[in-house]
Amino acid sequence: MEKKIITISREFGSGGRTIGHLVAEKLGIPFYDKELVDQIALESGFAPKFVEEHGEHSPGKSLLSYAFASQGVPGIMNGLSTADFLWNVQCSVILQLAEKGPCVIVGRNADYILKDRKDCLHAYIHADMDFRADRIVRLYGESEKSPEARLQEKDKRRRVNYQHYTGRTWGVSQNYDICLNSATIGVEACADIIVSLVNASK
């Protein structure tokens, strides 16, 4: 069956976002990243920055979540924690975007949200710590924390979020059609492999 929707899950710093962008460009289809955040922000009423920071990270256990939840507007958040409310909106937006037509969606557990559609290709991008540490310093600059500590923290938050909302284990190959190590294969080559798989499915 033709693969129209490509979801790309990725370890922080692995180049998954860049790969998604390249795939969308090469296939001439929309790439949802910023647009996805904006749409979720619009439908949830949260600021885009908040959606960006919490959409893949919070399983509803942060103090902030509880603070928000306790002040939630009845009838809008329906008594859900901020994180659960955000998850519901995220699911709905991703399902709607997939209905619109071919696209590339990066992150936000889209592999799970779209698991029942047969026209999806689910890819996972990972890389070893050195490659990712070097990459985040080049792309996002230095910070107080070491790049390794930043990676471990982000990995942990994405892993916990994924497990919490999907019941699956993050990074297990069986959840995806293809998993690629961008450090050994190369970012461009990863994109080319995904594009060739999509083209072969047509």
Nearer to a second copy, 47 or 189 (CB): 189
Instruction: Judge residue 93's burial from the number of C-beta atoms within 10 Å of its C-beta, 0-12 exposed, 13-18 middle, 19 or more buried.
Output: buried
Residues that bind a second copy (CB under 8 A): 121, 124, 126, 171-174, 176-181, 184-185, 189, 193, 196-197, 200
CA distance 64 to 2: 43
Cβ 202 to a second copy, closest distance in Å? 13
Select 35 or 168, whichever has its Cβ closest to a second copy: 168
Nearer CB in complex with a second copy: 48/171: 171
Minimal distance in Å, beta carbon 81 to a second copy? Answer: 30
Amino acid at 172: V
Q: Which is nearer to a second copy, 77 or 104 (CB)?
A: 104
Round to whole Å and give the CA distance between 118 and 130: 36
Sign of CA dihedral 192, 196, 101, 124: negative
Q: Could you tell me the smallest distance in angstroms from the CB atom of residue 155 to a second copy?
A: 11
Residue with tokens 């230095």: 142
